[in-house]
Amino acid sequence: MNAVEIRELINAGETSRVQFKRELQAKQADDIVAELVAMSNFEGGKILIGVEDKKGTVIGLGFEALEKANNYLFNWATNNIKPSITVFTETVNIDGKFILVVTIPAGIDKPYCDKNMVYWIKSAANKRRVSPEELKRLYQSAGKLYAERQTIADTSISDVDLPLFRAFYQKRYNENVETDDISRLMTNLRLLKDDKLTLAGALLFGENTEVLLPDLHISAIWFWGKEFITDDYRSSENITGNLLQQYKISVNFVLSTLRKVQGKQSFNSLGIPEIPKIVFEELLINALVHRDYFIHDSIKLFIFEDRIEIKSPGKLPNNLSVEEIKRGIQRRSRNIVLTSYVSDVLPYRGIGSGILKSLQAYPQIEFENNTVAEYFKVTIYRPKIEPIKTRC
**Domain of residue 228, CATH code:** 3.30.565.60
Based on the fold, state whether residues 70 and 197 are members of the same structural domain: no
**195/162 Cα distance (integer angstroms):** 15
C-alpha atoms less than 13 angstroms from C-alpha of 40 in its C-beta half-sphere: 27
- Whether 99 is covered by a domain: the verdict is yes
Based on the fold, state whether residues 44 and 192 are members of the same structural domain: no
Those residues of the chain that have pLDDT short of 50 are 388, 392
Q: What's the pTM?
A: 0.71
CA distances from 130 to 202, 315, 373 (A): 28, 17, 14
Can you give 282-327 as a three-state secondary structure string?
Answer: HHHHHHHHHCCCCCCCCEEEEECCCEEEEEEECCCHHHCCHHHHHC
Based on the fold, state whether residues 122 and 186 are members of the same structural domain: no
* Domain of 71, in residue numbers: 3-141
Q: Which of 186, 212, 238 is the last residue of a domain?
A: 212
Based on the fold, state whether residues 266 and 356 are members of the same structural domain: yes
Q: Please tell me the predicted confidence (pLDDT) of residue 56.
A: 85
Q: Please tell me the predicted confidence (pLDDT) of residue 162.
A: 94
Contact between 176 and 166 under an 8 Å Cβ cutoff? The reply is yes
* Beta-bridge mates of residue 350: none
Question: Into how many domains does the chain fold?
Answer: 3
Helix (H/G/I), strand (E/B), else coil: 94:
strand
Based on the fold, state whether residues 239 and 152 are members of the same structural domain: no
- Whether 387 is covered by a domain: the verdict is no
Based on the fold, state whether residues 198 and 288 are members of the same structural domain: no
- Whether 361 is covered by a domain: the verdict is yes
**9/19 Cα distance (integer angstroms):** 10
* Beta-bridge mates of residue 233: 223
Tens-digit pLDDT profile for residues 220-239:
999 999 998 877 889 999 99
- Whether 390 is covered by a domain: the verdict is no
Q: Please tell me the predicted confidence (pLDDT) of residue 324.
A: 87
Based on the fold, state whether residues 173 and 285 are members of the same structural domain: no
**Domain of residue 99, CATH code:** 3.30.950.30
214: Cα separation from own chain's centroid: 20
